[in-house]
Structure 1
Amino acid sequence: MRTSLGDRWVALTERLDGAGHWLAPLGLRLVLAWEFWEAGIQKYRGENWFAGIQDKFPVPFNLAPVDLSWTLATWAELIGAVALLLGLGTRFFAFALLVLTAVATVSVHWPADYGSLSELWRGYAITDKGFGNFKLPLLFALMLLPLVFQGGGKLSLDAALAARTGTTPREPVQDVLAWGLASMVLGLPLALLVPTVGMALLVAGVALVAVDRLLLA
């Protein structure tokens, strides 16, 4: 029996998916673990320079003492890097580092002022030429999101613990609650950068979760 081109494509993608569950999250975890470890170790060995930018921290992070903020940021990066490397608590630490990245972006890399999206996009750069330089933190955020939504993959301590305890997720669920959680995951860090968009997503997420609870009542 001859195999059609479509069948061959399906067979190919199924095998790439099978390998991808093992390899794709691992690649993200390794590169992010390295980057956040480097950032954390520089803070651990260096001097606290947060005093010069504390007024740029978003609420409520601007309310914390400078020394506390420095300590929390340092250990969040160091512990988060080790957790990503091992794939332990991947979703939690990826989300914590996502929020940390958003705080760093608005405090250091975000343009001081912009009047349009085209002006804002001029800050998508490595070097700040007066328009911000949020390219790297944006890339880190986009790399962290798959780990928040899909976890550390099969080559992780999370997967090993889930298999041992019988808590391995079965099939993905795309219901109202799923989209509500997704809206909140995206909304919280965005609320620090673009408050209107972020708050809209947070409100939508809370509403979807409430609707899901009402449907189950």
Structure 2
Amino acid sequence: MSRVDGVAPWLAPLGLRVLLAWEFFEAGREKLQGDNWFADLGDKFPLPFSLLGADLNWTLATWTELAGAAALLIGLGTRYVAAALWVLTVVAIYAVHWPSVWSSLAELWQGYAISNQGHGNYKLPLIYLAMLLPLMLGGGGRLSIDRLLASRRAPVAAAPADAPAWGVVLLGIGATVSLLLPWVGATLASAGIALTIKPRGRHAAKRLSSTAA
């Protein structure tokens, strides 16, 4: 299995990148060739997108999907592109796929479907989020432009997954998830803030004690 582990950085991210590139390219091409239906959503966009207007949101969504698809395919700026598409997908779930009214987790679960039967249909975009997450955290893999560019720079040792790193990740995920599930998002974001701040407090205390000594 150790030999299989050596293959994983080459093929695993590539499969995610190719599939997601095709899906977002299809979505962007449909918008580019179709009519703007964002105006029909009214005030369903969250802040700050609700301040931009239907035309600008349509343009941003179209070109984020098209340019993001191209970047994912070649593995250029993979982490940043995946993060942008993550935000785009969360906003799409919020505005289009999330049930407008639900009073229990059982009702919310009915929206985990491809077809819309009045309970939302967030299954497919939720799968996209799950596929984007490893690209945000792990990058585009060895078969990518990112890897080629990195190989021309001086090697940098991988940093450990310490508390601040977990804090930043949880804060980012929590901030976006709070649009859909406020309590879940707030909990994740609060945990992220706590993990980010706490180690700094310890380091500051150590520095003060060493200075006093």
Whether TM exceeds 0.5 here: the answer is yes
Moved more, 204-213 or 48-57: 204-213
1:7 corresponds in structure 2 to none
Q: Which runs of 4+ in 1 moved over 6 A?
A: none
1:171 Cα deviation after fit:
3.5
Shift of 1:62: 1.1
Structure 1 residues 111 and 87: alpha-carbon distance in aligned structure 2, compared to 1, 3 A threshold:
same
Which residue number in structure 2 is paired with residue 5 of structure 1? none
Aligned partners of 2:66, 2:124: CA distance in 1, in Å?
A: 19
CA distance in 1, matches of 2:175, 2:67: 22
1:126 to 97, 114, 134: 114
2:193 & 2:42 partners in 1: Cα distance?
A: 30
Partner of 2:154 in structure 1? 166
CA distance in 2, matches of 1:68, 1:143: 27
1:206 aligns with 2:193: yes
Q: State how far apart, in whole Å, the 2-side matches of 1:146 and 1:23 are.
A: 13
> Which amino acid counterpart does residue 82 of structure 1 have in structure 2?
A
Q: Which residue number in structure 1 is paired with residue 51 of structure 2?
A: 63
Deviations 1:179-213 (A, max 9, x none): 10120232122012112221222222122212233
Question: The residue matched to 2:15 in structure 1 has which SS?
Answer: helix
Where structure 2 has 5 or more consecutive residues not aligned to the other structure, the ranges are 205-213
Give the CA RMSD over aligned residues. Answer: 1.3
Partners of 1:99 and 1:188 within 8 A in 2: no
- 1:25-77 residue CA offsets vs partner (Å, 9 max, x unmatched): 00000000000011011111111110011311122211112111111111111
From 127, 131, 144, give the equivalent of 1:156: 144
Is 1:137 the counterpart of 2:103 in the alignment? no
Can you list the C-alpha shifts for 1:115-159, whole angstroms capped at 9, x where unaligned?
Answer: 111211111100011111111000000000000111111111111
Tell me the equivalent position of 1:86.
Answer: 74
CA distance in 2, matches of 1:171, 1:91: 16
Measured in 1, the distance between the counterparts of 2:85 and 2:3 equals 31
Note the residue ranges of structure 1 that are not aligned, 5 or more in a row. 1-11
SS across alignment from 1:179 = helix
Structure 2 partner of 1:24: 12
Match among 95, 113, 122 for residue 101 of structure 2: 113
Number of equivalences: 204
Corresponding residue of 1:187: 174
TM-score by length of 1: 0.89
